[in-house]
Amino acid sequence: MLTHRNVLSLINVGVVRQSIATHSTERIQSLEKLDRFSEQDVREEIITPLLRAIGYRKESMFSVDREVSLRIAKKGLAVDYSVTLWEENFWIIEAKKPDVTKGVFGYNALWQAVQYAIHPKINAALVVLCDGHALEIYDREESLESPVLRVMRENLLKDLDLIRALLGPLQAWFFEKRRVVRLLDKVFDREFSLGRFEEMAKLLRRRLDSKRDRIIDNMRALPDGDTPEKVDVALRSLETPELIESRFWLEMPWRQMKTIASTLVSRSRDDAIAISSRIFPDRPRSANHAFHIHSLQYLITLHADGGEARHLPAWLFRDSSKPDLEEAINDLIGLCLTNFSANRDRQVILLHAAASRRVAKLLFVLVPHLRKTGQALHLAQRHFGDEFAFGQLVSSPERHLIFETEQIERMSNERFVDAMMDEKQRFRSASARNELKRLWRSEITLLDSVDNYRELLRERDLGETFPTETAAVRYDQLGHGCLCMLDEFETWKAHAIANYADEIETLARLGSWQARQWIGMPRDEPVQVTEQEYATRFFLNDSEISEQLGRSYQGF
């Protein structure tokens, strides 16, 4: 049962987590110092600033109507403030004479406000009383004996988040959903006819289905939330380590990739060595396919900006005496188009990242209680997330599980690389290859534990668009992604076609639509790759493991 005793812990506090403008907090703080004031002062100097601070504006989605006229038995009444959301009343607030109530609201003060709240034109769940000394909030559908919250004027700023948790615009959803659930309980707790129950269930379903188009229209009419411009601003505001150690691991829309690259290039003018050494350290570092694509784009953007290679490791250029940016870009293109076949240590790390992601997804699909992680994260998003954010609109347990596979891929790969370093920070190549093969065998064991993983995954679909099952098994996501990125740079696209024709042809045979587009191969032409080619490219020449995993993921 949802009651006023647990309402503060249950309702959506996403809007509460949002910051309040500095001028609003300063205005609220100044109210605490007021001394002598009238009922009109209570309205203008306390209630109005408070309403603005918690998110209400006249003639907006979250509006405030003053002096609302009502009639009861031909008698006229006037509500001080009726607070509306999308033109529907939510709660009312009544200003009281401070020299009469003096912070103590009796029967008459509350009863007057309740009369307004129960009027059919209002039907507000919450009643708020304020006389300048104190503010009290009553949940009239739960109890009129005592307020849900009482705040003294001198504590307005300190307790502002508690006030917003109850009166904030988007908290209406909690109270309206509570009304629906309670009404259903009231109607059906003593029902004895399954026929009437089925009739009501069908009616509710039809009514809810009819609201889908309305909801979509409402969503389209929302003020811009995560617009591309706002995302750009957010990315530019991130610290350099956050951009490299977190965002580099993610596949992103082209605009966001450009924003990240240009941001890092701009910062490289003052901090080139620190940025380059973080992206391209001399020793092998943790990285997945997306990381290398972002890294290559950073170098290309740096070159276009007229930058210089102030710090590049020996593995990225042939002349150790003088780093050359164009040479480094050329070599990195070659590595990306061949899945780092010429750099075995970094190839092992790359393959480990892909395997870690596959195993993480396997576990989420196979182990029921692990899937509850997605449910918990989805509930947290609903509870704490900004209601207007894109992530809130598309949140689901499955979406959060996909995010978790990305996190596990990164964390597992970082730990793998750390564990493979000796006391002198040298990468233990043989140990790393052995550990990678152990991970592959564990993956095979998991796949062998179910009769048909493909069918099971279809029933427990996560809605993922990334080819987790085939990446670094039968499909070269790094090579394909590299070509997609180079397609945006005509000069380097031409360079790749001129210098890496064989590698592009191989990617086309592996199924890359970008490679096929470049060389004029039909997109639907069957993949023509031998088992040994798969083993060489993705499994360190181990044809047995290649065949076993390829068979398990066949058809994806």
pLDDT at 31: 56
**Are the CB atoms for 4 and 145 separated by under 8 Å?**
no
State pLDDT tens for residues 261-319: 999 999 998 888 899 999 999 999 999 999 999 999 999 999 999 987 777 888 887 65
Name the DSSP class of 468.
T
pTM of the model: 0.73
239 exposed, middle or buried (CB, 10 Å; 0-12, 13-18, 19+)? exposed
pLDDT at 219: 66
pLDDT at 16: 41
Cα–Cα distances in Å, from 148 out to 110, 126, 128, 166, 478? 14, 10, 10, 9, 57
Strand-by-strand arrangement of the 134-139 sheet = 62-72, 75-85, 88-95, 126-130, 134-139, 149-152
Unique residue bearing structure tokens 């530019």: 236
Cα 249 to Cα 295: distance, rounded to the nearest angstrom: 10
pLDDT at 168: 80
**Are the CB atoms for 404 and 377 separated by under 8 Å?**
yes
Rounded mean pLDDT of the chain? Answer: 85
Q: List the beta bridge partners of residue 136.
A: 129, 150
Pick the CATH number of 7-176 from 2.40.50.100, 3.90.980.10, 3.40.630.10, 3.90.1570.30: 3.90.1570.30
Angle between helices 501-510 and 325-337 (to 10 degrees): 30
Cα–Cα distances in Å, from 16 out to 24, 89, 384? 14, 21, 8
**Are the CB atoms for 133 and 96 separated by under 8 Å?**
no
Could you give the 3-state DSSP secondary structure of residue 243? helix
pLDDT at 508: 97
b/e string for 390-415 if b means 16 or more Cβ within 10 A? eebeebebbbbbbebbbebbbebbbe
State pLDDT tens for residues 371-401: 888 888 887 777 666 666 777 777 888 998 9
| 488 φ, ψ (degrees, to nearest 5) | -85, -5
pLDDT at 174: 78
Please report, in tens digits, the pLDDT of each residue of the chain (556 residues total): 444 445 444 444 444 444 455 555 566 566 555 566 666 777 777 788 888 887 776 655 566 666 666 777 777 766 655 555 545 667 788 888 887 777 788 888 888 888 888 888 778 888 889 888 888 999 988 888 899 999 998 888 888 888 888 888 777 677 778 888 888 998 899 888 999 999 999 998 898 888 877 777 776 666 666 688 888 999 999 999 999 999 999 999 999 999 999 999 999 988 888 999 999 999 999 999 999 999 999 999 999 999 877 778 888 876 556 678 999 999 999 999 999 999 999 999 999 999 999 999 999 999 988 888 888 888 777 766 666 677 777 788 899 899 999 999 999 999 999 999 999 999 999 999 999 999 999 999 999 999 888 888 888 888 899 999 999 999 999 999 999 999 999 999 999 999 999 999 999 999 999 999 999 999 999 988 999 999 999 999 999 999 999 999 987 7
pLDDT at 2: 44
pLDDT at 543: 96
CA distance from start to end of the chain: 46
pLDDT at 25: 59
CB atoms closer than 10 angstroms to residue 238: 14
Sequence spans of domains, the chain: 7-176, 228-337, 344-474+529-552
